[in-house]
Structure 1
Amino acid sequence: MTSVAARTGRTNEDFTGAVPTAAVLVDGAGIPGTESVCRHGVAWYAEQLCGRLLGLLSRTPDRGLTALLAEAIERVTDGHRDTCDVASTIGPSAMVAVLRVSDGLAEYLVLGDTALVLDRADGPPLVVSDPREVVISRPYRSALNAIPEGSDEYLRVLQDLRSHRNQPGGFWVARDDPRAADEAITGSCPVSELTRAALLSNGASRLVDEFGLADWPEVMTVLASSGPAEIIDRVRRAEARHAVPPDDATIAYCTGLGEA
C-alpha cells in the first residue's frame, strides 16, 4: 500500500487498510466550509469509515458488502450526529472501494469515484468503476477551471455540483445516509480466475482515466514490477507537466489471489 498527500504539509484524506480476507480504500471529500458544519473534518470521516468497514469485514464475514457498508456509514454518522450537522450538503463524504475473498469468490464494491482493477489469468483486467460523478461533474469542471479557486463564484458552482450528490439521477457517495450503499456497484467472480488486484483513489487512477498516459494492463505490470509508489510518482510528474492541481493518491495492491 502507498498513500501520498496532495502536497507536503496537507492532511491526507485518503485511507486504506486490509484484514486477511479483504482490502478497503476510502477517498475522503470536502469543500471549503466543511469545518463549519463538522468539527472533525474530512480526514476523520474517511479514517473512521475505513476502520469501521475493516472491523465489520473481519468480524462478520458472511454478510454482504452492501450491508456492511451501510452499517459502517450509520455507525460513523452516529459517532458525530450530536456534535455536527451530518445532513449538511457541505459536510464530509467519501468514495469507497472494497475487495473481499471468500468461499472461492472475489467480491467487490465500488461507491463513487474510485477504481478497482482485477487482473485475470486469461484476458484483460476487469476494471470496476462508478462513472456517475465524472459524467455529472464534467460541465461543472470546465466552469470551475475558469473561476479563481476559493472565490464566492467558485464555491457557488461547487455547491451546485454537490447538490446532485446522493440524489436520484445524480451520483452517490458515503455520507450520512446508509441507504447510499444500495447504489454501490457490486459483483463477484471466481478467485481462481484472478492473479492480482488493485484499489485506487481517483488521485492515482488519473494516470489512466484523466491523463491517458497508461492503460490498465500497463498499470498492473508496473505494480507487479515496481510497486504502487512508481505509479504515484508518474501521476505527480503528469500533474506537474499538465499544470493540474495534485490530489491525494492511494493504491492498495493485492497479489496471490489465484492461490487464495
Structure 2
Amino acid sequence: MFLTGATVPGGDASNEDWMAATPDLIVVLDGATVRTETGCHHGPAWYTRKLGASIIAIAADRQLALPDVLAAAIVDVANLHPECDLQRPGAPSAAVGIVRVQDKALHYIVLGDVTIVADTTAGLEVISDHRVSKTAAAERALADQYPIGAPEKADALIAMKRVELDAQNREGGYWIAAAVPAAVEHALVGEFDAAAVRQFALLSDGASRLVDDFQTTTWEEALDLLANSGPTELIRRVREIEDADPLGERYHRNKKSDDATAIYASTR
C-alpha cells in the first residue's frame, strides 16, 4: 500500500490536527476549536497529540476492535490530566478517523467530522459524521451574517459555541472524542473488503471543505487530485479559495482558514 499525507495549520497558531500512518493503521484527528472557558489548561493541540499517540500504542493489540481501541485511548488521555475539569463541555475534544488493515479487510471508525472516502469496485463510499454542523442552527445562521474578523461575528461565534457544546456527547446532538468513552458507541463503524478498495483517503474538515463547503470539486475529482498531485496540492487549492474570499462573503465559515490534513492511500 502506498501512503502519502500532509497537514497544514490554518494560521500562526499550533496545528490542532494530527495524523499518523503505519503499515496497517492510519489515524487523522481534528481538535475542536476552543471559544469558551474549558476548565482545562491543556489545549486541543495537546489533546490530539496525546490521543493520537495512545491510539497508535493501544492499536498494537490487534485483538482489540477499533471502537475498543478508541475508547481505551480516550480513558488513557483523561487519566493524564485528572486535575482538569473534564466534565465541562468545553474541555479538549477531537474528531477522529481511523482505518486499520487487518484480515483482508479495511476496518474503519469515524467519530465526528473527519471524512473517509473510498474508491471501491462497488462505487465511491464517503463516511463522515456532520451532526455537529446541525446543532445551534439559529446561532450559526446569525454568525454567517457577519464577515470574518468583525467583532459581531466573534460574539456570535461564542454564542454559537455555547449552544453547540450543550449538544456535545448527548442524544439528539453530536458525538466526539473527549473524556467519556461511551461516545464511541455512537461512532460510524464498518469495513470494506480490502480487495475491493482501489484507493482511499482520510481528511479533516479543513481539507474536506474543498468538496463539502466550497463544492468546487467532487469526491471523484478530489481522489484523482490526491492520486496525481498529492495532499499538499489539495490543501493548496483549499487555501487558494480561502485567500480569494478572506471575509467569508461567498463561502460562509467561522474562520478564514482551518487546519487541514489529508492522507491518501493507494492499494494497487
Q: Normalising by structure 2, report the TM-score.
A: 0.89
- Residue 135 of structure 1 is matched in structure 2 by 134
Counterpart residue type for residue 226 of structure 1: S
Match of 2:67 in 1: 66
**Matched residue of 1:117: which SS?**
strand
Task: Verify the 8 A CA contact 1:49 1:72 in the aligned structure 2.
Answer: yes
Query: Match of 1:21?
Result: 24
Matched residues in 1 for 2:73 and 2:193: separation? Answer: 26
Matched, 1:169 2:158: no
Q: Which residue of 2 aligns with 1:114?
A: 114
Q: How far off is 1:124 after superposition?
A: 2.9
Distance, in Å, in 1 between the alignment partners of 2:123 and 2:217 is 14
Find the partner of 2:187 among 167, 184, 188: 184
SS of 2:79 mapped into structure 1:
helix
Which segments of structure 1 move beyond 4 Å, counting only runs of 4 or more?
Answer: none
CA distance in 1, matches of 2:138, 2:205: 18
Which residue in 2 is equivalent to 1:10?
13
Offset of 1:72 from its aligned partner? 0.4
User: 2:195 and 2:76 mapped to 1: Cα distance?
Assistant: 34
- Distance change >3 Å, CA 119–CA 137, structure 1 → 2: farther
Contact 1:222–1:230 (8 Å) recurs in 2:
yes
Matches within 5 A, 1:148-159: 148-151=152-155, 154-159=157-162
* Counterparts of 2:241 and 2:113, CA distance in 1: 20
Task: Provide closer, same or farther for how the CA distance between residues 135 and 32 of structure 1 changes in structure 2, counting only shifts above 3 A.
Answer: closer
Report the RMSD for the aligned CA atoms in angstroms: 1.5
Match of 2:80, SS state, is helix
Q: Which sits farther off after the overlay, 21-30 or 142-151?
A: 142-151
Alignment of 1:87-102 (within 5 A): 87-102=87-102
In 2, Cα distance between equivalents of 1:116 and 1:154: 28
Match in the other structure for 1:104: 104
Bigger mean CA offset, 217-226 vs 130-139: 130-139
Task: Please state whether the residue corresponding to 1:70 is helix, strand or coil.
Answer: helix
1:242 correspondence with 2:245: yes
Larger deviation, residues 155-164 vs 41-50: 155-164
Residues in 2 aligned to 1:138 and 1:130: alpha-carbon distance in whole angstroms = 16
SS at match of 1:2: strand
Instruction: Summarize the alignment of residues 16-55 of structure 1 with structure 2, pairs less than 5 Å apart.
Output: 16-34=19-37, 37-55=39-57
| Contact 1:124/1:217 (<8 A) preserved | no
Contact 1:30 1:91 in 2 (8 A): no
**Residues 70 and 93 (structure 1), Cα distance of their counterparts in 2 relative to 1, 3 Å cut:** same
Using the TM superposition, name which of 238-247 and 65-74 deviates more. 238-247
Please say if residues 115 and 127 of structure 2, whose CA atoms lie closer than 8 Å, have aligned partners that are also in contact.
yes
Letter of the aligned partner of 2:68 in structure 1?
A: A
Whether the 8 Å contact between 2:19 and 2:261 is mirrored in structure 1 is: yes
CA distance in 2, matches of 1:154, 1:132: 18
Q: CA deviation at 1:104?
A: 0.5
1:158-237 mapped onto 2 (5 Å cutoff): 158-237=161-240
Structure number having the greater helix percentage = 1
TM-score by length of 1: 0.92
| CA distances 1:117-136 after superposition (whole Å, capped 9, x unpaired) | 1111x343211111211222
1:198 partner SS: strand
Q: Which amino acid aligns with 2:263?
A: A
Whether the 8 Å CA contact 1:172–1:183 is kept in 2: the answer is yes
Distance in 2 (CA, whole Å) between partners of 1:205 and 1:154 is 21
CA contact (8 A) 1:115 1:205 kept: yes
